[in-house]
Amino acid sequence: MVIVVNYQSGDRLRHCLRSVLAQPHPAEAVVVVDNASSDGSTDGLPPGVRLVRRATNAGFAAALLDGLALTTEPFVFTLNPDTLLLPGCLEASRAALRSDLLAGSIAPRVLQQHRPGHIDADGIGLTSMLGQLNWHHDLTEAEAGEQPHQVLGPLGGAALWRRVALERAGNFDPRYFLYWEDVDIALRLDRAGYVCRTAPTARVLHEGGGTIGHHSARNVFYMARNHWPCLLRSLPGRLLRDRALWVLLAPLRAAALYARRGQGLAALAGLVCGLVLAPRALLDRRRLPRSGSGAKAAERIRALMREADAARQRMKRSPPPSGQPQP
């Protein structure tokens, strides 16, 4: 099953669906869940695509839950409409998930559409300073290599999920609306005893920005708002205590970076809303799944953080795109 969450995507949605339907081994069902678009992007969809129209825009995770409710298929591929599946992507992703019963999700290789051969993300991670990381971002495919490896989770806009794993982890949380819901579900899948593997041969082109835009006020607001609730709710307890200072500082540090880009008001509004949501996030911890000891869970995430730190250093050493400063 493939679920595409759409909102005001214009012609991107039709291009995305054509790439899905052209796969050598297509999905059993293709569903578009539309978040109350008014731009005509869902008009004239290809035959065989099921359309679910929402009366209001309740965000990415809420739309995914609507799509998941339509079938009971064991594997679910989630997509943003600004993506294109390259030939064989679906089958390579499914083969990776079938080969590892501990895998709750698979992270395809997401490539930058405007920079052929450059990676947007080989999955996502958390650094030791509790910031988000897109694995291998801006590296070339040759630099990243073709060896699958474990990451915290997949990029939510291009990911394959095992349905039973999502159910055991408590499924997607619609309260995030946008951003951090993929980190949240990845942490909860780990707590439930699952891992995420990359699938470098399952390749996806990603335009990026979509309808909300890179570093738009709305983008910055939700990135800042959801940072504290995600960490407070889903980090293993021992790690939450051991990294308490960075739990406090990480959202402030990210907000300061947004302010330097001219989005200080949006970042501040997001931080304030995140503080309001923090007590509920702490209460939610009682209902989280757990498989094995808390100490082992904390050490697993620590190990992934160390690997994310190393990956971040490797990405910093990579030459910057032409005309752009070294980060």
pLDDT tens by residue, 178-214: 999 999 999 999 999 999 999 999 999 999 765 555 6
Query: Helix/strand/coil (H, E, C) string of the chain?
Result: CEEEEECCCCCHHHHHHHHHHCCCCCCCCEEEEECCCCCCCCCCCCCCEEEEECCCCCCHHHHHHHHHCCCCCCEEEEECCCEEECCCHHHHHHHHHHCCCCEEEEEEEEEECCCCCEEEECCEEECCCCCEEECCCCCEHHHHCCCCCEECECCCCEEEEEHHHHHHHCCCCHHHCCCCHHHHHHHHHHHCCCEEEEEEEEEEEECCCCCCCCCCHHHHHHHHHHHHHHHHHHCCHHHHHHCHHHHHHHHHHHHHHHHHCCCHHHHHHHHHHHHHHHHHHHHHHHHCCCCCCHHHHHHHHHHHHHHHHHHHHHHHHCCCCCCCCCC
Rounded Cα–Cα distance for residues 5 and 31 (Å): 9
Nearest to 308 by CA among 196, 173, 174, 171: 196
At the second CATH level, the architecture of 2-206 is Alpha-Beta Complex (3.90)
Count of residues for the chain?
327
Q: Give 204-259 pLDDT, tens digit per residue.
A: 999 976 555 566 899 999 999 999 999 999 999 999 999 999 999 999 999 999 99
Tell me the average pLDDT across 46-69: 94
Structure confidence at residue 291 as a pLDDT band (50, 70, 90)? low
Q: Checking DSSP bridges between strand 49-53 and strand 30-34, what pairing results, if any? A: parallel
Tell me the average pLDDT across 26-50: 92
Rounded Cα–Cα distance for residues 62 and 6 (Å): 12
Residue type, 32: V
**Domain segments of the chain: what residues?**
2-206, 217-317
| pLDDT above 70 as % of the chain | 94
Rg (CA), the chain: 19
Task: Give yes or no for a contact between 105 and 153, defined as CB atoms under 8 angstroms apart.
Answer: yes
| pLDDT above 90 as % of the chain | 83
Q: What pLDDT is attached to residue 215?
A: 63
Q: Is the dihedral of CA 79, 291, 130, 200 positive or negative?
A: negative
Residue 301: count of CB within 10 angstroms of its CB:
23
Structure confidence at residue 293 as a pLDDT band (50, 70, 90)? low
Q: Give 158-181 pLDDT, tens digit per residue.
A: 999 999 999 999 999 999 999 999
Q: What pLDDT is attached to residue 213?
A: 57
Structure confidence at residue 322 as a pLDDT band (50, 70, 90)? very low
Q: What pLDDT is attached to residue 321?
A: 46
Q: What pLDDT is attached to residue 325?
A: 35
Q: Is 6 or 323 the better-scoring residue by pLDDT?
A: 6
Distance of CA 206 to the CA centre of its chain: 13
Q: Give 80-139 pLDDT, tens digit per residue.
A: 999 999 999 999 999 999 999 999 999 999 999 999 899 999 999 999 999 999 999 999
pLDDT exceeds 90 at position 327: no
